[in-house]
Structure 1
């Protein structure tokens, strides 16, 4: 009996593993130390063409977004190569792919006009939404005012198609009236381990080394 693989619901495409940050919890160990090794436009086109007609749109429709629906561009940090990101969005849109969004750490949101210009250009190219990362590990590298700016301007341009991942941490940092960055050790002093209740710490990538003290340990015979 031949078993058909399940139809894909969503797809994340890495433009690069290079990032401006070196977050302790990163499951892909992205870093500024990675080479600027970007996916080629020809590979992008080939992959996206094969996904055309197969990806499921978000429940609210193909122009809406959802974390586990549609196509998203990720990394690393996609905005390190804005020209390629723009081309990726244009290509995905040309193949009729639904629910297109990009993930970002917001490092590039240094002023309102620049952020607004880039986001409008992406929307015109076919981008449906943005996922803005917010967590106690990223905030060690990206000043909170840049994250806050990204969220405000994305909400202005994309409305309901802004996703804050994760909103709990965004409100934690706002409650501190935070400016600049915050070390993870200082975060734990303020919020303690219960503050991390809403984050997924998958035991892979850099997490296993940098955050090993947060995991329960068992002797080898247990396995």
Structure 2
């Protein structure tokens, strides 16, 4: 009985604490955002800003296809027509095609996304303050997960007496749980880091 009465109180404390933790992490991370030292240097860096490694791979394939250096057949297989590269990432695409100068497009795209040249473009953008490095927002992301976990704990705490059926009247804390949980979830969504790695400067640069 005592444990059941304590659950809503604990849930309320967790909800409030998770929002405070998330807010502190959000302020601390954004106030320490990397300084902006420039915009995207070329088309590939602009592509990385717009859509990450996948957009870079698509841009490289489209560029090389438009000038006739590669071709794509009906089976979505890329074939090298002229093995000429004008940038390191294009050289990596050619190397990934192997001695047969051919590779399935989806497989090639995935490999190119992980290539050193593409990752270097992302690192350069992060160094200029246009992208967040994953480690810079690690604690902030953890705080977001804690907020979600606190919400689900609150839901379970509210429903537990219904399933246990102790017959007692709900406590004041139990009545407060639903609105506080919804407010906590809304605040968490507003304060949580976005899925995009773009900083504010990166969004403005697009």
Q: Which of the pair is proportionally richer in helix?
A: 2
Normalised by the size of structure 1, how large is the TM-score?
0.22
Normalised by the size of structure 2, how large is the TM-score?
0.24
| Structure having greater relative contact order (Cα 8 Å, sep ≥ 6) | 2
Q: Which of the pair is proportionally richer in strand?
A: 1
